[in-house]
Amino acid sequence: MAPPSNPAHPNTELDETAIIARDLIRFDTSNYGGGRSNGELEAAEYVEAHLTALGLAPQLFEPAPRRASVVARVPGRNSAKPALVVHGHLDVVPADPRNWSVDPFAGEIRDGMLWGRGAVDMKNMDAMILAALGDILGSGRQPERDLVVAFFADEESGGGVGAGWLVDNHPELFAGATEAISEVGGYSITVGGRRAYLLQTGEKSLLWVRLVARGTAAHGSRLVGDNAITKLAEAVATLGRTEWPLRLTGTTRELLGKIAEVLGVDPEQVSPDELALATGRRRDSSRRPCAPPRTRPSSRPATSTTSSPITPRRSSTSAPSPAKRRPCSPRCRRSSATRSRSRSCIATSGSRRRRPAPSSTR
């Protein structure tokens, strides 16, 4: 993406992909979850207009007010081949401007980089899809197989009024498609001095854990040792600090085997942590706020269960007195890839183990 040499004229030297990504960032499509969203309508209309200008016949769907998705089919040269779905999402997770050094919805170019919410998830790829499609169709070419290009609403909160709704209500849009390509899937990494490209083959499954604490109800001015909220806070803190055991699914075992192959080592002789370290490190300052940041293997999350008590759904912090009963729902991600869940998980010897947090304080 070519940065502008003069920020006063940000359009003049931007390529098309950057312009589209910037335009999409400027639509604030924040999805707050739980049905609260700014909506994707204007972004969807922008994409619809772009696809129409390429000579396609996109369809815009709005199953709920302002919650809009766009789908278009690009005819391929060989209709006997199965279609390929290439899709992105138009919504973004919220951004608090107080935590940003730039306006998250201004699409600002600074230091040769495009800044804004969605610049990496995933208005960037939405723009790449549109620009690549424009490149192919604009030069008179046609893809080998049918392409179904889709830009979904509501990906960040379950897809109920996005991909899920379209699959349930308009399966004909995806008729004949056998594969789909979208975001993530793996970043390129350097292993042993060689460039390696990761392919995602599974997802962690999600497990909501409902914590319920009981205590003695009393007026807030009293000293009450039996406080449900204190118990709940301790349970959440324990869950957040728990170091879960390393587990290798078929997917992660294969990943580590390939890393070992690139490194020229025997995967039976090298620990998974060492192999994971070969993929690079990332800073991790989240474990103890006062402790110096630690570095961890960047692929470690692929081999471990993770728990993220960051999204309490029904907890309350404003109770005037120690509550008798307070629920909270942190979420955990199990290391088992969904497609590998039927396989047995093998605990790795030598991995650090601590007692897991209780799933309930009931």
Among residues 121, 132, 170, 327, the one that binds Zn ion under rule CB under 5 A: 121
Residue with tokens 């400027």: 26
Pick 93 or 319: Cβ nearer Zn ion = 93
Footprint of Zn ion on 180-219 (CB under 5 A): 183
Phi/psi for 284 (5° steps) reads: -135, 105
Told to check if 163 binds Zn ion by CB under 5 A, we report no
Positions in 50-69 near Zn ion (CB under 5 A): none
Residue placing its CB nearer to Zn ion in the complex, 42 or 121: 121
| The length of the chain, given as a count of residues | 362
DSSP alpha helix (H) spans, the chain: 16-25, 41-53, 123-138, 163-169, 228-241, 250-263, 272-277
Q: What residues are paired with 74 via a beta bridge?
A: 147
The CB-of-227 to Zn ion minimum distance in angstroms stands at 39
Q: What are phi and psi of 264, to 5 degrees?
A: 75, 35
* Nearest-CB residue for Zn ion: 121
Q: Give the nearer residue to Zn ion in terms of CB position, either 87 or 334.
A: 87
Nearer to Zn ion, 123 or 247 (CB): 123
CB of residue 154 to Zn ion, shortest distance in Å: 11
Shorter beta-carbon distance to Zn ion: residue 126 or 146:
126
Closest CA to 330 of 204, 245, 226, 235: 235
* CB-count burial class (<10 Å; 0-12, 13-18, 19+) for 304: buried
122 binds Zn ion (CB under 5 A): yes
Answer yes or no: are the C-beta atoms of 309 and 330 closer than 8 Å.
yes
Which of the stretches 62-70, 74-82, 177-185, 337-345 binds Zn ion when contact is defined by CB under 5 A? 177-185
Residue 240 in 3-state DSSP?
A: helix
Helices (H), 197-330: 228-241, 250-263, 272-277
45 is a contact residue toward Zn ion (CB under 5 A): no
Nearer to Zn ion, 88 or 297 (CB): 88
List contacts with Zn ion (CB under 5 A): 121-122, 183
